[in-house]
A = this chain, B = another copy of it.
C-alpha cells in the first residue's frame, strides 16, 4: 500500500469534493433504524462501491435484542386553522420524531405542546429526537417557530407505518491476502445530519475505493448498519467471523472543523490503538486520544466484553462534543471537503501501517548475521538514507523475537515505520526472517 498512498495523497483534494457531493446526495433522505430511507441510502452508496445488502425480518432474535417493526413515513405536518403547514416534514426529515406512530387529528395548541420538541437554548435550531421502543408521536421544531404559533386548533398528521418488515444493513468487502479481517463500521440511521454520520459514510466509501485499488494484506470489511440494533444484528449473524476480526474502526463525525479524536478500544492497547496513536503523533496533526467509554457509537457493541474486539473509534469532534450535535445545525455548512479529506488521509496512513505491521522471528538470532556478504549494507535507499536503513535492519534483527511487531521496532528505534518495514522486507527477502 506504500507507493499507492502517495498517489492517493495527491488525489486528496479531489476526493474531498467527491465525498462532499455524496454527503449532499444523502442529506435529504429520512433515515431511521429501519425503512426505505436506509435502503435508498445504501442504493446510492452502492453506486460508489458494490454492496451486499442484508434484510433481516422483524422479530428476529439478535443477541439480547429483537429486530423491531419497520418504520416508514411519507408525510407529516402541523397545519394551522388556515391550512398552512407550520411544521412540515417535507422541509426537513428532522421535523418528525423518529419512529412516530401515525396520527391524524385536530387539537388545540395546549394539547399539542406535549408532542413538540424544541431547543430553547438554540431557538432557531430543530432538535433530532427518536422514540424507537416507546410508541408515541411527536414533532421537532425551532423554539422560534413554536413561539410564533398562536393558540387555537391545529391539524396534526403523520402519515407513517410501523409494521412487520425488515432491518436493512450492508457490507462491502475488499479482499486481502489473508482471511484475517479489519472492519470499518458506520451507522446509517441518522436522518438529515451531515456530520453525524453522512461524513463518516463518505470517508468509509472512499477509503474502500482506495483499498480496492490495492492488494492489501488484510481483508477489509465495511459495515453500513443502523446504530446499536444494526451493529448487534451484524454481530449476531457473524459470530463465527468475529474470531477473524483482528482490528476495526468505527467512523463517525468525520467532517466537522474540529481536530481529530481517536477513542481507544476497550482493551486500550489493541493493535488499532497503537497504530492510531503512532500515526496521529507521527503526522504532527493536533489531535486527542481518549480512553474507552461504553457510550458513543457502535464501538460499544464491538467492544462489549463478550466480543472485546480491537475496535476503536475515529471522529473529528467526538460524540455530543459540539453544540450542533443532533440538531438541524449539523447541516451541509457544518462539514467541509477539506475536513473529510483530512480524516480520509489519517485512515489511509493508519491502514498503511496496520497492513504492513508484522511479528517476525529472526532466523539467525545468535550474534549478528553478516549483512555484508548478503549485500544488505547500503543496499537500500540513497547514500543519506543508507545509515538509517542499516540501523533499521539491526533493530529489526534485534527485536524480531516474535514478541515485537514492526511498529514496536519503529517506536523503540525512533525510526519511521516505513523505513523499518522496508528493512524487514529486505531481511525477509534474504531469508533472515520468518513471519
Q: A63 is contacted by which of B133, B366, B391 (Cβ under 8 Å)?
A: B366
Q: Is A366's CB under 8 angstroms from B399's CB?
A: no
| Given A133-B373, A266-B398; A368-B301 close (CB under 8 Å) | yes
Bound together, the chains give a CA A366 to CA B134 distance in angstroms of 24
Query: Residue A305 contacts which of B64, B306, B307, B365 (CB distance < 8 angstroms)?
Result: B365
Mask, A230-250, CB within 8 Å of B = 1, is: 011001100100000000000
Q: Are B64 and A304 in contact (CB under 8 A)?
A: no
CA distance A197 to B169 in the complex (A): 70
Let me know if A370 is at the binding interface, CB within 8 A.
yes
Contact B398 A366 (CB under 8 A): no
| Cβ-defined contact, A305 with B63, below 8 A | no
Q: Is the CB of B373 within 8 A of A304?
A: no
A134 to B373, CA, bound (A): 10
Q: Is A362 an interface residue, CB under 8 A from the partner?
A: yes
Mark contacts of A365-400 with chain B using CB atoms, 8 A cut-off: 1 yes-contact digit, 0 otherwise.
111111011000000000000000001001101111
* In the assembled complex, A294 has its CB within 8 A of some CB on chain B: yes
B397 contacts A367, CB within 8 Å? no
Q: CB < 8 Å: which of B63, B291, B295 contacts A394?
A: B295
Is A294 in contact with B394, judged by CB distance below 8 angstroms?
A: yes
Task: Check A235 against B307 for contact (C-beta < 8 Å).
Answer: no
- In the bound complex, residues from chain B placing their C-beta under 8 Å from that of A401 are 305
Is A228 part of the contact surface with B, judged by Cβ < 8 Å? Answer: yes
Q: Which residue of B lies closest to A291 (CB)?
A: B412
Interface residue? A2 (CB, 8 A):
no
A299-341 near B? 1/0 per residue, CB < 8 Å = 0110111110000000000000000000000000000000000
CB of A210 to closest CB in B, whole Å = 30
* Cβ-based interface call for A65 (8 A): yes
A: interface residue count bin: 35 or more
Interface residue? A283 (CB, 8 A):
no
Tell me which residues across on chain B come within 8 A of A60, comparing CB atoms: none
Query: Given the complex of chains A and B, what is the CA–CA distance between A401 and B364 in angstroms?
Result: 38
Contact check, A367 vs B305: say whether CB atoms are below 8 A apart: no
Once A133-B373, A397-B294, A398-B266 are accepted as A-B contacts, the answer to whether A228 and B305 lie under 8 Å apart by CB is no
Min CB gap A291→B, angstroms:
8
- A76: shortest Cβ distance to chain B, in Å? 24
- Nearest CB of chain B from residue A369's CB, rounded to whole Å: 4
Residue from A134, A305, A391 whose CB has the most chain B CB atoms within 10 Å: A305
- Give A295 to B228 CA distance when docked, in angstroms: 52
Docked CA distance A370–B366 (Å)? 51
The CA of A369 and the CA of B63, in the complex, are separated in Å by 8
Q: Is the CB–CB distance between A235 and B366 below 8 Å?
A: yes
Give CA–CA (A301, B301) in the complex, Å.
Answer: 48
Which of B235, B295, B391, B394 is close to A367, meaning CB atoms less than 8 Å apart? Answer: B235
Find the residue from A239, A303, A367, A397 having the highest chain B CB count within 10 A. Answer: A367
CB pair B64–A398 under 8 Å, yes or no, is: no
Of B65, B239, B304, the residue contacting A370 (CB under 8 A) is B65
A233 to chain B, nearest CB (A): 9
- Please state if A64 and B364 are interface contacts (CB–CB under 8 Å): yes
A250 to chain B, nearest CB (A): 14
| Residues of chain A having any CB pair with chain B under 8 Å | 63-65, 133-134, 228, 231-232, 235-236, 239, 266, 291-295, 300-301, 303-307, 362, 364-370, 372-373, 391, 394-395, 397-401, 412-413
**Could you give 30 example pairs across A and B, Cβ below 8 Å?**
A63-B366, A63-B367, A64-B366, A64-B367, A64-B368, A64-B369, A65-B367, A65-B370, A133-B373, A228-B368, A232-B367, A232-B368, A235-B366, A236-B367, A266-B398, A291-B412, A294-B394, A294-B397, A300-B394, A301-B367, A301-B368, A303-B398, A304-B366, A304-B397, A305-B362, A305-B399, A306-B362, A306-B365, A307-B366, A307-B367
